Amino acid sequence: MAARVLVGVKRVIDYAVKIRVKPDNTGVVTDGVKHSMNPFCEIAVEEAVRLKEKKLVKEVVAVSCGPQQVQETIRTALAMGADRGIHVEVSGKDYDSLGPLQVSKILAALAKKEEASLIILGKQAIDDDCNQTGQMTAALLDWPQGTFASEVAVEGDKLKVIREVDGGLETIKINLPAVVTADLRLNTPRYATLPNIMKAKKKKITNVKPGDLGVDLTSRLEVLRVDEPPQRQAGVKVETVEDLVGKLKEAGRI
């Protein structure tokens, strides 16, 4: 029985917003743009809260890394039923270059500090689509991982995880402590209720600095340029199959 679950929640640009690239091509416009909790993180929070409601875990701790604004995201997790939050303060250039490697180092350190026995994350964030943090965190902790989970069941001191993979569904059994990453069909996240939003105000969010966790935030990656995807070009109509094959050969496709 996992006593404490850590759930990572990331503040990202809302999925419905039309993304625009900054004029200097260094990134996308985030100022004044609507942000929300990454949808896969919502699913992760929901799963953790359900485990608590089934009395399979004792405490759900929501974690987010970033500047002051990420506290909104932690509050949303608290309103969904997480017990307390941890805000890992990262801002400025460090935040701009924050990626899966640094976040997984932070999560690994927190998992040890908080004596967590389960970490649930979204499978990927909708801004960078990295799909790496869960896997890296498991590696750093030397814990088993159940990624792309569409179902999670506790069986004694093990987890049965059904994973969505290209070939279909794969069922694995892993020992606790473990890292699980949530896929789309794992659950449907609940709405926060008005009473829970008010209760969330009283739940604690502790602030932590990456340095306190012994984590080095230096990025090994440098973003050179960000561009819009190329405009979709008009197609060409062909008369016969021979024409089609000819055109494909011309374009070097076959």
Partner 1 sequence: CYLLHAAKPFDFDTSTGLTDEQKEFQKVAFDFAANEMAPHMAEWDQNEIFPVETMRKAAQLGFGGIYVRPEVGGSGLSRLDTSIIFEALSTGCTSTTAYISIHNMCAWMIDTFGSNELREKFCPDLCSMEKFASYCLTEPGSGSDAASLLTSAKLQGDHYVLNGSKAFISGGGDTDVYVVMCRTGGKGPKGISCVVVEKGTPGLSFGKKEKKVGWNSQPTRAVIFEDCAVPVTNRLGSEGQGFNIAMKGLNGGRINIASCSLGAAHASVLLARDHISVRKQFGETLSNSQFLQFKLAEMATRLVASRLLVRQAALALQEDRPDAVSLCSMAKLFATDECFSICNQALQMHGGYGYLKDYAVQQFVRDIRVHQILEGTNEVMRMIIARDLLTES
Positions in the binding site for partner 1 (CB under 8 A): 31-34, 36, 72, 75-76, 79, 191-195, 197-198, 200-201
Q: Of 176 and 197, which has the nearer Cβ to partner 1?
A: 197
Q: Of 71 and 131, which has the nearer Cβ to partner 1?
A: 71
Q: Is the dihedral of CA 15, 200, 82, 214 positive or negative?
A: positive
Quote the least distance from Cβ 86 to partner 1, whole Å: 18
Q: Of 11 and 75, which has the nearer Cβ to partner 1?
A: 75
Quote the least distance from Cβ 17 to partner 1, whole Å: 8
Q: Of 144 and 189, which has the nearer Cβ to partner 1?
A: 189
CA distance 8 to 250: 49
Quote the least distance from Cβ 179 to partner 1, whole Å: 28
Quote the least distance from Cβ 198 to partner 1, whole Å: 7
Under 8 Å between Cβ of 5 and 51: yes
Phi, psi of 166 (to 5 degrees): -55, -35
Quote the least distance from Cβ 250 to partner 1, whole Å: 34
Quote the least distance from Cβ 200 to partner 1, whole Å: 8
Q: Of 19 and 153, which has the nearer Cβ to partner 1?
A: 19
> Which of 51, 191, 161, 72 has the alpha carbon at shortest distance from 116?
51
Burial 55-80 (b: 16+ CB within 10 A, else e): eebebbbbbbbbeeebbebbbbbbbb
Angle between helices 100-114 and 133-141 (to 10 degrees): 50
Q: Of 116 and 200, which has the nearer Cβ to partner 1?
A: 200
Name the residue type at position 118.
Answer: L
